Structure 1
Amino acid sequence: MNSVYFILGTPGSGRRAIVRDLIENGLAPEERALVLLAEDEEADPADTKLVGLPNTELRRWKWTEPALPPVEGLGAATVFFIADSRISPMDQLEALKPWLEEHGATLARIFCVVDCQLAEKQPVLRQWFDACIHFADVVFLTRREGLANKWLSDFIGHFKDQHFPCHFVQVKTKGDLITPLVWLDPTARRVSQYFDEGESYEIEGLETDDEEDDEEDSGLLPPEPYFVRLSSGRREKEVPDLRDYLPKK
Structure 2
Amino acid sequence: MAGARMANGSADAQELRDIDASVPHSARIWNYWLGGKDNFAADREAGDEFLTVYPGQRDKARAVRHFLARAVRYLVDEAGVRQFLDVGTGLPTADNTHEVAQRLAPESRIVYVDNDPLVLAHARILLTSSPEGVTNYIDADLHDPARILAEAGTTLDLTKPVALLLIGVLGHVADVDEARSILRRLLAGLPPGSFLVQCDGTDTDLDYVAALEQYRDSGGVPYNVRAHEEIESFYDGLEVVEPGVVQITRWRAEPNAFGEAADVSELGGVARKA
TM-score (norm 1): 0.39
Q: Which of structures 1 and 2 has the larger relative contact order (alpha carbons within 8 angstroms, sep 6+)?
A: 1
Q: Which has the higher helix share?
A: 2
Larger radius of gyration: 1
